[in-house]
Structures are given as C-alpha cells and as structure tokens.
Structure 1
Amino acid sequence: MNHPHGFWAGWHDRPQQHYLIEPRYLAGAGDLRHATEFLRASGWKEKPKTGGPLVFHNPAKTVRVVFDPLTQPGGWTIESKASGYQPAWAAKFGIQTPVEIIAGLTDALTQPPTAHAPNVWAPLSQQGWNTRQGQHFTAMSPDKSAFVQFHQSSPGQAHWWIGARTEHGRAWDAEFSPTTPLSLVQAVTTALADPQPVMRPRGAFPPSNRIRTTSVSVRPSELGAWQQARLNTARTAAWARNAWATARPRGGKPATAPQVPAGYAAGRR
C-alpha cells in the first residue's frame, strides 16, 4: 500500500514522552550537545581526535573545554591560559553534572565580560538557599541536596566546591581553582539555582525520590526548533562581535555598532 509523503513525515514527528525534572541539579547529565553546539555556533573550534575526548578552543585559543567520558572519573574540564592580568585557571565537573549547569559556565565564556561586580551568592539567596559559617562558608539548597562551599586558606587562595547528593549518595561534584574569575563561578551558581525544570527523555534521568517529574509529550520538530533558537542566539552574538571587530578603526573616529541582519535577529524571538 502506498502512503503519501506527508504520512511518513507526520509519523516521524509523532509526539514522544519526555519529563520535566526538578530540581535541575538532580536531573542527570543530559545531552552534552546543549553545551558543545552552543560553543560551535559561537565560533569555537573542535579539535577532532578519534576515540579521544571532545576538545573545543575559543577563537583566541586561550580557553579550552574538554569532555572526557573515557578516563576515570571522567567529566568536564574547562581551563584557561594566563592572559593579561588574569592568571591561568581551571574548573572541573563530574560526568553526571547536568549539562545545563555546565552551559552556565561555557555560555558565559562566549560573552564579553560585564562591568558589574560579581556576587556568587546572590543567585542562591534569591532562591532561598540557606547559608552558614563554619570551617567553610556554605550555601545549601532548600531541599539540602545541593551545596556551594567557599574556603579561603590564605590571601588569594579562595577555593570553591559545588555538588549535589541524593539518597543514593554523591550525584556530582565541581571544583574551581582559586584563580577562576568570580563572574564565571556566579554563572554556575545562577544555572545551579535556576528554578526552571530541565527536560529529559524517558529513562534518561537517575532514580531518586528527591526529584519531581512532570510527563510531557514533545514532537521532535518542537525540540529541534527550541535547539535552533538557542543556536541562533549564539550565532547572532558571534556575528555581531566579528562585525564590530572588523568595523572598528585603528585610529580616529570610532565606528558605529554594526546592524544585525534581520534573518539572524528573527531566531532570537
């Protein structure tokens, strides 16, 4: 029996069961492309290595993002060379760190630095996290499943740890070198404390009685559209940065800011 082409197109776009997971820090790793495709769309280059870890470099080749699922314990390493007044720094995340929290840091690396003084604790206090002063200064999530710890062993030696736990034990951990810019640590705590749930396919999140799940039906085309909108945001920003760098004169009158093409801007709506 012959079926029209539209039948097959509709068949492949049938709704699939997904789950909205809360809190996001217990949702499991997720799809790493949420972070890596944004980097690629922002102009970062992948260093291909057959059978090896995923490695991305920023256009200036001063920062690299590595995802290594093969070596123990595996996970993410984000590190930067020394540049100007900023010393080298590194951040490491366990392999089960939700990719949305990784993207808090990696997305921030694609943005120009802000003029605002960073405040690592502000996103946590805004979401009702509890703080206490002991051997370490600690912020704990309301459900006591996630934490942020700070300890200064000596001047200039500020250590940061972030992690999450379930009734089964450790879910994931992250640590930051003392030289990590506070704006980047704040980008992580912002993503960590975000009350918005994250989406996972059926069977793609760890079992825990500490998570809340909401079943939703999502068409592949809808998922693709959401992902494309996120990538369009990255491409628009990268295009604007490149155009500004190209248009800026070396001397004399400053150039006007470039106009973003209408086709790019549409993807941000």
Structure 2
Amino acid sequence: MNEPEKPPVLAQVTPRYLAGSGDPRWVTAPLQKAFRWQPAHIPLSPVVRLTRRDRQAELLLSPDPDEHWWTLHHTGTTAGEKAWTMRFGARTPAEIIAAATDTLTTGPADSAADPMQVLEQARWKRSVLEHQISSPDGFVTVSRHPLGALHIEVTAHDGPWTSEPTARTAWRAYFSDHTPPHLAAAVLAGMVSTEPLLRDEKEMAPFLRYSVRIARERVPAHQAEYALWDRVDRLAAHRTGTPLPPQPPGRSLPRRTR
C-alpha cells in the first residue's frame, strides 16, 4: 500500500537577502488586485508589465539573463518630481522588491531622509570608503554615489565553507538619482530584517545554500499562499480606508485559493 503523500512544506531561510527570488506574485498581485495597476503586456508572454492608472509609474518583469529582471520606473511629475528608476536582479527576493512597491503605493514618505541610516542602525559596517556600507557577514555592499544613486551588490560563497570558497554574485540592484529616499530605505529595511523568508529548498539556487541558515522547523506551504492573499486584502483595505480585523494569534492559517 502506498503511503499518503505528505503536504508540501517550506523552509525558513536567513539571511533574507540570500533566500532567492521566491514568488513574484508577492510583488505583482498587490499592484494589480489591490491598487488596480493595469496589465500592459502581451498575454502568454514571459514579460509582465503593470502600469499605474495615471501612467506615471510602471513595473516591468523581463526574464533576461543579461539584464535586470525587475524594473520600477517613474516618469516624474509636472509638479517637479524628477524621473527615477529602480532595477533588481533575478535572484532578488520578491519580498524585498515588494518593500519598494508597497511603499510607493501606500502613501507619503515617513522614514529618514538618508536611507543609509537604516543600515547604520542595523550595525552594518561602513568601509574605509565613506560612501560604502557592508553587512556584518560581508555578503552585501551598498554604495551611494555622489548624486544620490545607490548600488547594491550581494554575493554568496560558491562552495562549502571548508573548501576555501570564492565569492559569487547572487544579485545586484541599482537605484537611479532622484529615487525617493523612503523607497530606498524601505528596500534596505527589508534587507536588514531578521525575519526569515519561506522558500522551497528544491527551487533555491544550489550555491546559495552554502551561505544561508535554514531552520529545522518547516512551515506548511499553504500558509505562504494564505499570507499572500491576506496581504493583498490588507493593502486593498489600506487603499479604501476599510480596516480588516487582526489575525488571531496562534491560529492556523487555512488554505485559500483564487
């Protein structure tokens, strides 16, 4: 007799900036379902393009191995806001990209004017070069250019610790001049957070596993699906001003489908 198939489970991975790309719907679903961004891509195309209704902001997901996969672009406004662009590599965790899109859609700036303060408060280390800050584990370097642009470089060990591993690029991100500081700060806050990200170990890039910590306790995969759509509902409620009741602590999350 065959044993019943075990329900799928997800691993809890830290540091979160090395957890791999994750579920792209964490970025795209709230924009389309909660904030009514309009799809502007060809159906069945691997390219996803979502445009804000005022057509001043656009999210592009383009699976090009030679370029950034994610691009968030703003055209600027007649009120004087200049155009800006944020680009993220393929292995950037979707939850970190969503920190920028959530902040763009949910309201005005409420964070420090200098995004680098987020890293300093998390005790990341400023290098000899005044414009660079690195993570305590040495895997991340954030550089600020004189005119305000930011560059993020994330690496991982390309082999076991015992074999003198070399560094391999995991992903890069670039924020152009005039990117609103509160958007950059939101991304950096998502990177320094110690909260683990949920991932299917089988889908992680093999080389990332040498540099991450995976908790022994696994989480049922349906909880991640529920969390996604619960988040969409809460962002939609924020947009309409209709509060939702809080999730009772300790209650198991039911499966939810859409």
TM-score by length of 2: 0.82
1:109 maps to: 104
* 1:187 Cα deviation from its structure 2 partner: 1.1
CA distance in 1, matches of 2:11, 2:221: 14
CA distance in 1, matches of 2:24, 2:110: 30
Which amino acid is 2:75 matched to?
K
CA distance in 2, matches of 1:16, 1:102: 25
CA distance in 1, matches of 2:86, 2:247: 30
**C-alpha RMSD of the superposition:** 2.1
Which amino acid is 2:224 matched to?
L
Matched residue SS, 2:211: coil
CA distance in 2, matches of 1:201, 1:164: 21
1:252 maps to: none
* 1:39 Cα deviation from its structure 2 partner: 1.1
Matched residue SS, 1:158: coil
How high is the sequence identity, in percent, across the aligned residues? 25
Which of 134, 145, 148 is residue 139 of structure 2 equivalent to? Answer: 145
Matched residue SS, 1:148: strand
Look at both structures and tell me which one has the larger radius of gyration over its CA atoms: 1
Contiguous gaps of at least 5 residues in structure 1: 1-10, 241-259
The structure carrying a bigger strand percent of its residues is 1
* 1:217 Cα deviation from its structure 2 partner: 3.6
1:227 maps to: 228
| Alignment partner of 1:98 is 2:107 | no
* 1:70 Cα deviation from its structure 2 partner: 3.8
| Alignment partner of 1:206 is 2:205 | yes
Which amino acid is 1:146 matched to?
V
CA distance in 2, matches of 1:147, 1:111: 28
| Alignment partner of 1:165 is 2:161 | no
1:192 maps to: 191
| Alignment partner of 1:27 is 2:28 | no
Aligned residue runs from structure 1 range 37-76, under 5 A = 37-40=29-32, 41-50=34-43, 51-70=45-64, 72-76=66-70
Which amino acid is 1:58 matched to?
R
CA distance in 2, matches of 1:239, 1:210: 42
Residues 117 and 146 of structure 1: CA distance in aligned 2, closer, same or farther (over 3 Å): closer
Residues 138 and 49 of structure 1: CA distance in aligned 2, closer, same or farther (over 3 Å): same
| Alignment partner of 1:123 is 2:150 | no
Higher mean C-alpha displacement, 171-180 vs 118-127: 118-127
1:254 maps to: none
Which amino acid is 1:265 matched to?
L
2:163 maps to: none
Contact 1:140 1:146 in 2 (8 A): yes
* 1:71 Cα deviation from its structure 2 partner: 5.9
CA distance in 2, matches of 1:91, 1:100: 15
Which of 69, 72, 78 is residue 78 of structure 1 equivalent to? Answer: 72
1:249 maps to: none
Contact 2:126 2:133 in 1 (8 A): yes
Contact 1:102 1:188 in 2 (8 A): yes
1:248 maps to: none
- The aligned length equals 231
Matched residue SS, 1:265: coil
TM-score by length of 1: 0.79
Which amino acid is 2:69 matched to?
G
Which amino acid is 2:38 matched to?
K
1:176 maps to: 175
CA distance in 2, matches of 1:33, 1:266: 23
CA distance in 2, matches of 1:98, 1:122: 22
| Alpha-carbon displacement from aligned partner over 1:72-98 (angstroms, at most 9, x marks no partner) | 334101110121221111111111111
